Amino acid sequence: MMKHRGFPGRLPGTDFQFTIRRGNKDGATRLVARERYADRRPADRRADAGFMAALWENFGQEPFERGNLDAGRLSWLFGREVVPAEDPFDPESYEALLKIDVPRARAAFPEVFKGGGSA
């Protein structure tokens, strides 16, 4: 399992986890697209935006390996702002490649992309 050095382990000042310390010996937790409802708590929304900002800062438009990124946090973005970068895609692999769907990410998290970025 690739460890993304320099990627924040959690949202600063909270317990919202962004990375895991070690891989599961039985394989990676399956990525699933979780529905984000309009009535989500503000803290959850900040965690989503913080995670997207960290993804953008670390990877930009380039494909990236799932590695030690937290499956739960990724699943809140998976299938919308974060999409598979390979076909076939294995949602239970630490080596699976993902990428940011920049137009959808800009629409969902305008505060992350307000400076224009590299897209």
- Tens-digit pLDDT profile for residues 72-103: 999 999 999 999 999 999 999 999 999 999 99
119 has a pLDDT exceeding 50: no
CA atoms within 13 A on the CB side of 68: 16
Domain regions of the chain by residue span: 1-22+29-114
| 3-state percent helix, strand, coil for the chain, nearest multiple of 5 | 25, 10, 65
What is residue 118's predicted lDDT score, i.e. its pLDDT? 52
Rounded to two decimals, the pTM is: 0.88
Regarding predicted confidence, which is higher, 104 or 24? Answer: 104
- Please report, rounded to a whole number, the percentage of residues in the chain having pLDDT higher than 70: 96
Q: What is the pLDDT of residue 68?
A: 92
Q: Residues near 18 by Cβ (< 8 Å), separated by ≥ 6?
A: 7, 8, 9, 10, 11, 50, 51, 54, 69, 70, 73
Higher-confidence residue of 25 and 14: namely 14
